[in-house]
Structure 1
Amino acid sequence: MTADRETPVTPVLDVCDLSVRFRMRGGRDIAAVTDARFSVAPGECLALVGESGCGKSVLASALLGLLPANAETTGSAVLGGDTDLLTAGERALARTVRGRRIGLVPQSPAAHLTPVRTVRAQLEETLRELTGVRGAAVREAAGEAAARASFPADHLDRYPHELSGGLAQRAATALALIGDAPLLLADEPTTGLDRDLVERTVDELRRHTDEGRALLIITHDLAAAERIADRVAVMYAGRIVEISEAAPFFGTPGPRHPYAKGLLDALPERDFAPIPGMPPELGTLPDGCAFAARCTRADARCTDERPAFEDALACHHGLTGRAHSLTKAAADA
């Protein structure tokens, strides 16, 4: 008798060959994101890391349908197996996706908080809209939502302009966690927080994930990524250049891509050695590997030929031979 095979788990988010181009005046294009490919499963946290300006936040905006008018997207980003976020109209995104199926912790919380309403009022309004809580219970639920994000109860009746950057970030996190959306997209959620609050924030996001939801966290804080992530995706000059399980990435044998290794080596608790040079402009990317000019392993092939993204790596000279996976399911197989 043949043993039953487990039913494949549908990813909460499945991104395939997602590209974003900005059409600029004079006919010039900026390739902000190129052929991004990854998935996030229920109960999994994927950390997207890389230097500022590499395209991480543009990718997040594409998933939410929040790109400017001069942006063009190709590829697909399927939510829950049934909704392509790149082709869904604004009406569908606004009514059924944002806040309900995707919770957002924004990079700039001040821009997402209503300036003329207190934090408590915004939490209560969101609770009524997303959970249906009514009457006296909504006040208690608002306090509980604030506590989940370590937002102090004695600041609930303050307006956004009365909050520090760190408090505004925690208020935005509290709003994002309401409704327990299947996917949480956290764009630099630890900005402005001290290390203790960073750890408390990512621990709460981890708890949210451990309850069966998916988390895509975009961060430059590698310590936070190490604390929370199941897998890591490394982005450079608009491309994802490596995807790895988190434990071997941060431990042994370490990253396979030279850029990813450089990111870790630059940490104060490691070699504290910065990566030489600067990233290329996204509007003038070289024909070959975008990292070649900064890489000690680069040769003529790297300069002339852009490496394909194969076996979760985009590099002609990977640092190790270990296998990685694009999906958590493949890693667990």
Structure 2
Amino acid sequence: MPRGRHVAAVSDVSFDLAAGECLALVGESGCGKSVLTGALLGLLPANAQTRGSAVLPPAAPGEPVVDLLTAGERTLARTVRGRRIGLVPQSPAAHLTPVRTVRAHLTETVKALTGTRRDALPPAVTAAAERAAFPADHLGHHPHQLSGGLAQRAATALALVGDAPLLIADEPTTGLDRDLVDRTVAGLRRHADEGRGLLVITHDLAAAERIADRVAVMYAGRIVELADAPAFFGRPGPRHPYAAGLLAALPERDFAPIPGLPPELDALPGGCAFAPRCARADAACATRPPLDGGVACHHATAPEAADA
């Protein structure tokens, strides 16, 4: 990024996530979903700036409340990452040490996060692999010997080891065939059903429909709709025209793409960022709409008419 250039990759994002709940954050590539993940875990580049708050409540009596956006690296590394927040990264191969086997990765992680005795490590490692549907006969493989799908499952196993009260899964179904997508979605849903929070970042709306309790739709760095999943995917349906377009683009629905391309985050138009692609746009869209009643649009479909 050239010196002095400012990119508002994520702005005005606000949501909560309860224990036992899954929130799916959906949107096209480049809308800022993964930047949000980096901000929550302190993994953004050194020149990135964050404002606001992201409060992580105590998981147990005696644990402190942590503001993820202001916590230092020492706190994030020692008490948050892996212990209070697990992460399934978007590019798992880049997060695996190339000279270590999957078994070595899991063994080290199990021991560090759970304090498992050495004699109990092998069954604990096998159990971690099973939770992520990672084949036991591949535990001795190095990352370069894994397919993209196997690398994804290895990363998922590592994220599940610590039983963190919050799990962030960034595109967890990328590179998986449909059977493995089903197993991954079922495993992640079980993680939430056992009382943990789950934030799934995905462009796979079919997977989001199966796993989410609520859906947040992101466009050009902002959340433009926040809705309960049954209402969003069923009736009354999405209220924001962009969210409606995402669903209409699915092969099992209208298979109709949204016209145009999303804006670059360093060249956002004034007012509503979706207006140049929106059939409902008019002069009112020159002003950026707030997220009001779960939707940021001057011409949002009324809740009772969204399925008309």
* TM-score normalised by length of structure 2: 0.95
AA partner of residue 126 (structure 1)? T
Aligned residue number for residue 127 of structure 1: 110
> Is the 8 Å Cα contact of residues 217 and 243 (structure 2) preserved in structure 1?
yes
Kindly indicate whether residue 304 of structure 2 is the aligned counterpart of residue 305 of structure 1.
no
> Is the 8 Å Cα contact of residues 35 and 75 (structure 1) preserved in structure 2?
no
Task: After TM superposition, list the pairs within 5 Å mapping 1:230-249 onto structure 2.
Answer: 230-249=213-232
State the alpha-carbon separation in 1 of the partners of residues 304 and 266 from structure 2.
33
Kindly indicate whether residue 159 of structure 2 is the aligned counterpart of residue 149 of structure 1.
no
Kindly indicate whether residue 83 of structure 2 is the aligned counterpart of residue 91 of structure 1.
no
3-state SS of paired residue (1:76)? coil
State the alpha-carbon separation in 1 of the partners of residues 304 and 113 from structure 2.
44
Aligned residue number for residue 62 of structure 2: none
Pairwise CA RMSD of aligned residues? 1.1
Kindly indicate whether residue 90 of structure 2 is the aligned counterpart of residue 107 of structure 1.
yes
**Residue in structure 2 matching 1:188, options 168, 171, 174:** 171
3-state SS of paired residue (1:166)? helix
> Is the 8 Å Cα contact of residues 209 and 233 (structure 2) preserved in structure 1?
yes
AA partner of residue 133 (structure 1)? T
Kindly indicate whether residue 146 of structure 2 is the aligned counterpart of residue 163 of structure 1.
yes
- Unpaired runs of 5+ residues, structure 2, are 59-64
1:206-255 CA-to-partner distances (Å, cap 9, x unmatched) read 00100100000000000000000000000000000000000010001100
Aligned residue number for residue 37 of structure 1: 14
Task: After TM superposition, list the pairs within 5 Å mapping 1:218-237 onto structure 2.
Answer: 218-237=201-220
Distance change in 2, residues 1:216/1:322 (3 Å): farther
Kindly indicate whether residue 55 of structure 2 is the aligned counterpart of residue 73 of structure 1.
no
**Residue in structure 2 matching 1:278, options 252, 255, 261:** 261
- Unpaired runs of 5+ residues, structure 1, are 1-23, 324-333
1:260-308 CA-to-partner distances (Å, cap 9, x unmatched) read 0000000000000000001111111111100001010111111x10001
Equivalent residue pairs, number: 299
Aligned-pair CA distance for 1:25: 2.3
1:23-60 CA-to-partner distances (Å, cap 9, x unmatched) read x4253211100110001000000000000000000000
Aligned residue number for residue 37 of structure 2: 60
1:191-212 CA-to-partner distances (Å, cap 9, x unmatched) read 1000110010011000010010
AA partner of residue 87 (structure 2)? L
> Is the 8 Å Cα contact of residues 216 and 227 (structure 2) preserved in structure 1?
yes
> Is the 8 Å Cα contact of residues 253 and 320 (structure 1) preserved in structure 2?
no
Aligned-pair CA distance for 1:127: 0.8
Question: Which one has a larger percent strand, Structure 1 or Structure 2?
Answer: 1
Point out 4+ residue stretches in structure 1 off by more than 4 angstroms.
none
State the alpha-carbon separation in 1 of the partners of residues 302 and 227 from structure 2.
12
Aligned-pair CA distance for 1:116: 1.0
Kindly indicate whether residue 2 of structure 2 is the aligned counterpart of residue 25 of structure 1.
yes
